[in-house]
Amino acid sequence: QCQDISQYIENKIPVINIPVGYVANLKYQFDINQKDKNHIISIARLVENKQIKHQIEVIKQLVTKHPNIQLNIYGHGNGLSEYRQLVEDYHLSEHVKFHGFKTHINEEIAKAELMLSTSKMEGFGLAILESLSVGTPVISYDVDYGPSELIQDGFNGYLVPQGDINQMVEKIDQLLNNSQMMQQFSINSIEYAQQFNEINVSTKWQNILN
């Protein structure tokens, strides 16, 4: 996004990229070895832009290979009844759960092995940043602009083309079948999130204001 703006104004004035959020406490106590096996989390409003249907379709394809898979969705919105009906139609009631909105969500994120993001468009993703900070890699659609600022493809998660459910299934399956890779992605996620800690972000602001 910063690069696009610079090109739009033909580099006539400097454009500085400062995150709109930060991780306040990267010392949150958790153990990446104690994550719930096959537990996937999603934090999103239940609205059309977030494409929760795609996540349900993903679980439908994965449940045969991973019969213990669990997708826990946190958020509210007017699509809840529609999504619940789809889960019921697909006989996935034991695998997809809706929990509504919850504050202090870090504990739930830390338990998960993966987070999913299927938005049509996304700004700087605070939920993605929180997920990385507790060692939960993220698999997301590669949409402008937020996900690619936080996810390094093949390092702390995966970026897949918008709407490509099959590729998302493939990437999830790859990680669920490879515990060593999953653990490395988890470690990488924590390391990458360090650059978004409170000190680093506030320093960028101080440099601008001074």
Q: By three-state DSSP, how is residue 84 classified?
A: helix
How big is the chain, counted in residues? 210
Q: What are the structural domain ranges in the chain?
A: 2-24+31-203
79: Cα within 13 Å, side-chain hemisphere: 18
The pTM of the full predicted model, rounded to 2 decimals, is 0.83
Instruction: Determine the pLDDT at residue 207.
Output: 53
Instruction: Determine the pLDDT at residue 166.
Output: 99
Give me the architecture of the 2-24+31-203 domain, per CATH.
3-Layer(aba) Sandwich (3.40)
Burial class (CB in 10 A: 0-12, 13-18, 19+), 153: middle
Per-residue pLDDT of the chain (210 residues; tens, 9 = 90+): 444 434 444 455 544 444 445 556 544 456 667 899 999 999 999 999 999 999 999 999 999 999 999 999 999 999 999 999 999 999 999 999 999 999 889 999 999 999 999 999 887 678 999 999 999 999 999 998 789 999 999 999 999 999 999 999 999 999 999 999 999 999 999 999 988 865 444 454 355 556
Distance CA 67, CA 99 (A): 21
Look at residues 79, 74, 96 and name the one whose alpha carbon lies nearest to residue 87: 96
Instruction: Determine the pLDDT at residue 34.
Output: 82
